[in-house]
Structure 1
């Protein structure tokens, strides 16, 4: 089918109600910017999933970063999205305003040059992300070892997507199919979703970020569900970037420097083996990443936990756009450019 036929089909669809989760925040942003929701039948509901690593980072991690930023001869290096994430002791932006040493980075690899030029300063990298960014932090350690650099530390809040998807399949029964995260899939490969599709009888479709890719993926999910058989499977509509086996070099780097462990997802709670931690033999790089599972108690009016797993849309949260907005975010989903609430707010 061509694009016009797919749009006509999705617009006129009158079958059973279908709930499809787009796991990736970049997909959510593209869906809004391209107006895809307006092209779908009311019977097809798109749900934003926990695809923003910044949004699921617990408060204790932010507090640890602030501690380093306030420490003498230490500099905390982070991406911009992390600056407004609230911890129990405030945010990195507030700490910087109070004199803490916080520097923005565009790539973790740039810290190697800073560390080499300033051996008396310890550079602490806030490593937040999924499998997509984990190889970059592994490369930082590999290069630091090669250059003999002793003044780099890494605090990891790295998470892996598959345990979270398993948790959602186990606990959220209203989701019939998934648009798999494109960037993560480049690393882990499309075949990684096969066991989930077989176990839970749900379609998993890997897709890119252009509107036509996303529409084709939604069509694919709906057609698989219409077939009414247990033979739901993984379809890769992004084969120009995603291979069945993924990026094996990146996987090897991750396995060399990191090991899995339990991690807390803000709004979801602890999920076994969903975190990546620096292995024992490379502990000299670790800035104290384990045990950062304490989170702030969100009031009943903040529904970030329900937003992350798709129980409600962001605009159904009582605080959306009133007590919580991008300039002064309250919940984590409003903080990042890939957070569901932030995307909904900017495109409302």
Structure 2
């Protein structure tokens, strides 16, 4: 008879308790945080095991300046399309939700194909706020490779996880001991780009899926590495993640985007950490098409603590 989820969880937790040592584990995924909070994972673990959030939410990492860019487009009469969870993210002087309430044509879409469909149906110019990590960047690249309508373009807010982690580790402020790597991102990138964190910095790692057993198993894998003195990256999410990742997806990203240095919300400029549209696709790059210029924003909006949370210095209760 197959064991129940509770029986499997109990078995993993017993192994965790047997190997428990003081350790600060950072996960790098908003979906992981959702699972951890929803299922009370932190309350199940021994007190010496701490799990903190990292820069893994593609909404939270978008800085005020990029919200301001979209608000400038709204002022120019452009139809701005975006994911629903971007609406209330604050810029330096308001949000897309506030602009929408005041009559601006801001539309929520489920992805870039929906935004292209809108552009095909209306006469107005349409811009898609293209947010997300390596997970969503291939979908954006795929649409631009199809040569969408002339009245369509994107603002690329795509960011790269490995450079952000490298920045955090070298900053020394978080004092993390181990990493749970994001399953969605690793589905595209594979595990190879993360190996350096174990080989160069001696950090134990595990790629995790998204149910509570995935999270618990990844914690056990990390503790097992610590116990054996063998830091590496274990792939707990083998049902979706391969060592080499999604080769076709990565090729499309390389064809459409190049890497630049830019700030993240709560971070200074992180070297080689964002994707910008290549020159040959510039007709679909809204920054160039509309000659967008906004001021850099150095201070977080009042009440915003995304920065400390994304750096593992505060917990998102």
Give the TM-score, by structure 1 length: 0.83
- Distance in 2, matches of 1:299 and 1:63, equals 12
Matches within 5 A, 1:109-258: 109-118=113-122, 120-145=123-148, 149-172=149-172, 174-227=175-228, 229=229, 231-258=230-257
- Distance in 2, matches of 1:96 and 1:204, equals 42
- Distance in 2, matches of 1:112 and 1:86, equals 25
Distance change >3 Å, CA 43–CA 248, structure 1 → 2: same
Unaligned runs of 5+ in 1: 314-340
Structure 1 contact 13–41 (Cα < 8 Å) conserved: no
- Distance in 2, matches of 1:240 and 1:269, equals 36
- Distance in 1, matches of 2:62 and 2:137, equals 15
Q: Cα deviations across residues 250-299 of structure 1 (Å, max 9, x unaligned)?
A: 10110010000002111011101100000011111111179768225137
Q: Counterpart in 1 of 2:91?
A: 87
Higher deviation after alignment, 304-313 or 85-94: 304-313
Q: Counterpart in 1 of 2:300?
A: 298
Q: CA deviation at 1:111?
A: 2.3
- Distance in 2, matches of 1:301 and 1:117, equals 39
Structure 1 contact 130–161 (Cα < 8 Å) conserved: yes
Is 1:282 the counterpart of 2:285? The answer is: no
RMSD: 2.1
Q: CA deviation at 1:35?
A: 1.6
Counterpart among 297, 300, 310 of residue 308 in structure 1 = 310
Distance change >3 Å, CA 299–CA 106, structure 1 → 2: closer
Q: CA deviation at 1:58?
A: 1.1
Structure 1 contact 70–101 (Cα < 8 Å) conserved: no
Report SS of the residue matched to 1:100.
coil
Structure 1 contact 266–295 (Cα < 8 Å) conserved: no
Counterpart among 14, 19, 23 of residue 24 in structure 2 = 19
Structure 2 contact 259–274 (Cα < 8 Å) conserved: yes
Give the TM-score, by structure 2 length: 0.91
Counterpart among 7, 20, 39 of residue 34 in structure 1 = 39
Structure 1 contact 188–247 (Cα < 8 Å) conserved: yes
Structure 2 contact 19–227 (Cα < 8 Å) conserved: no
Counterpart among 11, 18, 26 of residue 5 in structure 1 = 11
Structure 2 contact 132–157 (Cα < 8 Å) conserved: yes
- Distance in 1, matches of 2:20 and 2:302, equals 36
Structure 1 contact 58–294 (Cα < 8 Å) conserved: no
Q: Counterpart in 2 of 1:324?
A: none
- Distance in 2, matches of 1:71 and 1:279, equals 24
The count of aligned residue pairs is 307
- Distance in 2, matches of 1:178 and 1:55, equals 19
- Distance in 2, matches of 1:291 and 1:46, equals 39
